[in-house]
């Protein structure tokens, strides 16, 4: 089958819609959990711990989730992951309080990862190799849409109904996806067994290559900047008196910008190389982070977040392109696996580190230090 066939088009559309629905829960949960914790007197460090929990279990169990989909297929893990999102989002409704938020964050994070690993594998199985880039681009644009919608739903329901209503609204969405998947009508192509490429020196052999080290370093900067925006904007917005709706809208403008830049990416690549785009994006992000502490209104903060989204939204496509360019033949998958490990490790470490710094030094030094790192990364990318 090719992606142009009726069955494959229907499957891809279903995977995108299911991904949007479940990712709305993840994106909305992050906002609701962080603001609920702040309303209960939590510090920036505590919020950082909560945000890190979303990535901790995925960091540990992503490989196991992939092996599970190899053994039992993709439909069952996707169903289990969707059901886990229901439980994770509903828990603070049943048991309000800070302890429940910790459990909810961990459960929502690992449940979405369980769904996502199988959904991405299913997407890659549609059509032939020539169709995969297009399929994954459409899936990524879907996640940009849900990244825009999730914070809006969270912010408005918090302001008009409170935190328990917000969590309840998020819990309803994966009930629908779980029911759809449990019916077993989603056609997913059978996975094909492929021979593993022989290891040639292990991970360290890849890390010894200068070009790949630079790509991985740039990936760390992109991931850290993205994760820090997710955790610090709610904290900073609350500190300058913004409402939950305003904070949700600010986060949504960031997601909207990532969608916009991914739509125009094919045209952008006609007149600029990956390295030039990465360099400009990192320098732009560095300037935005320096300006963040100067923003004292929702409109200015939203404008800066939109500009930041335009820069960071280019990161994943460009990094993936460079990995395929520089990785040795037969080891592209291993290089991509290292990148995924780095992303999840960053999602754990960055909230903890900068949450602690924000508590002890204040928010402005955190933003400025990240701005310096991103600017340095832009210069590194230019040299590469």
Q: Check whether 347 has a pLDDT greater than 70.
A: yes
User: CA 123, CA 17: separation in Å to the nearest integer?
Assistant: 12
Q: What average pLDDT does the segment 329-351 reach?
A: 66
Vertex 361: Cα angle to 355 and 364 (nearest 5): 85
Q: Is the dihedral of CA 324, 22, 189, 127 positive or negative?
A: negative
User: CA 362, CA 355: separation in Å to the nearest integer?
Assistant: 10
> What confidence category does residue 193 fall into, taking pLDDT thresholds of 50, 70 and 90?
very low
- What is the per-residue pLDDT for 195? 41
> What confidence category does residue 342 fall into, taking pLDDT thresholds of 50, 70 and 90?
confident
> What confidence category does residue 45 fall into, taking pLDDT thresholds of 50, 70 and 90?
confident
Report the percentage of the chain scoring pLDDT > 90. Answer: 30
- What is the per-residue pLDDT for 28? 94
User: CA 19, CA 49: separation in Å to the nearest integer?
Assistant: 26
- What is the per-residue pLDDT for 1? 40
- What is the per-residue pLDDT for 95? 93
> What confidence category does residue 378 fall into, taking pLDDT thresholds of 50, 70 and 90?
confident
> What confidence category does residue 131 fall into, taking pLDDT thresholds of 50, 70 and 90?
low
CB neighbour class for 201 (10 Å; exposed up to 12, middle 13-18, buried from 19): exposed
Q: What does each C-alpha distance from 229 to 30, 108, 186, 301, 363 come to in angstroms?
A: 12, 19, 35, 11, 12
Q: Check whether 246 has a pLDDT greater than 80.
A: yes
- What is the per-residue pLDDT for 21? 95
Phi then psi for 4, rounded to 5 degrees? -85, -10
**% helix / strand / coil in the chain, to the nearest 5?**
85, 0, 15
Query: Which domains, from first to last, does the chain contain?
Result: 1-188 (1.20.1250.20), 201-384 (1.20.1250.20)
User: CA 285, CA 223: separation in Å to the nearest integer?
Assistant: 12
Q: What average pLDDT does the segment 31-35 reach?
A: 93
User: CA 151, CA 250: separation in Å to the nearest integer?
Assistant: 9
User: CA 151, CA 246: separation in Å to the nearest integer?
Assistant: 10
- What is the per-residue pLDDT for 196? 44
Q: Check whether 380 has a pLDDT greater than 80.
A: no
Q: Check whether 217 has a pLDDT greater than 90.
A: no
- What is the per-residue pLDDT for 197? 44
Encode pLDDT of 64-110 as tens digits.
777 677 678 889 989 999 999 999 999 999 999 999 999 999 999 99
């Amino acid at each position: 089958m090719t992606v142009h066939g009726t069955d494959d088009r229907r499957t891809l559309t279903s995977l995108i819609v299911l991904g949007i629905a479940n990712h709305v829960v993840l994106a909305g949960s992050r906002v609701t959990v962080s603001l609920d914790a702040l309303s209960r007197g939590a510090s920036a460090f505590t919020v950082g711990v909560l945000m890190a929990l979303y990535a901790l279990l995925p960091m540990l169990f992503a490989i196991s989730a992939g092996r599970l989909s190899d053994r039992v297929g993709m439909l069952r893990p996707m169903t289990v992951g969707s059901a886990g999102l229901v439980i994770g989002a509903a828990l603070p409704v049943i048991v309000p309080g800070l302890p429940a938020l910790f459990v909810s964050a961990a459960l929502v994070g690992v449940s979405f990862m369980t769904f996502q690993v199988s959904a991405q594998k299913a997407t890659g199985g549609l059509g032939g190799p020539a169709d995969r880039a297009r399929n994954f681009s459409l899936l990524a644009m879907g996640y940009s849409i849900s990244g825009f919608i999730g914070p809006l739903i969270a912010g408005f329901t918090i302001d008009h109904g409170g935190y328990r209503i917000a969590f309840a609204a998020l819990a309803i969405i994966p009930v629908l996806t779980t029911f759809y998947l449990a019916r077993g009508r989603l056609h997913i192509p059978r996975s094909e067994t492929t021979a593993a490429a022989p290891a040639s020196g292990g991970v360290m052999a890849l890390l010894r290559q200068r070009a790949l080290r630079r790509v991985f370093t740039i990936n760390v900067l992109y991931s850290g900047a993205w994760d820090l925006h997710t955790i610090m904007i709610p904290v900073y917005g609350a500190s300058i008196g913004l409402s939950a709706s305003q904070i949700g809208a600010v986060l949504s403008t960031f997601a909207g910008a990532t969608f916009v830049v991914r739509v125009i990416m094919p045209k952008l690549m006609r007149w600029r190389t990956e390295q030039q785009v990465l360099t400009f994006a990192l320098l732009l992000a560095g300037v935005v982070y320096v300006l963040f502490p100067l923003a004292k209104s929702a409109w200015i903060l939203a404008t800066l977040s939109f500009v930041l989204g335009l820069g960071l939204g280019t990161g994943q496509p460009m990094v993936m392109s460079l990995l395929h360019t520089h990785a040795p033949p037969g080891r592209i998958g291993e290089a991509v696996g290292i990148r995924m490990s780095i992303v999840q490790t960053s999602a754990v470490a960055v909230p903890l580190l900068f949450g602690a710094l924000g508590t002890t030094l204040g928010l402005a030094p955190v933003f400025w230090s990240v701005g310096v790192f991103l600017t340095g990364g832009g210069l590194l990318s230019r040299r590469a």
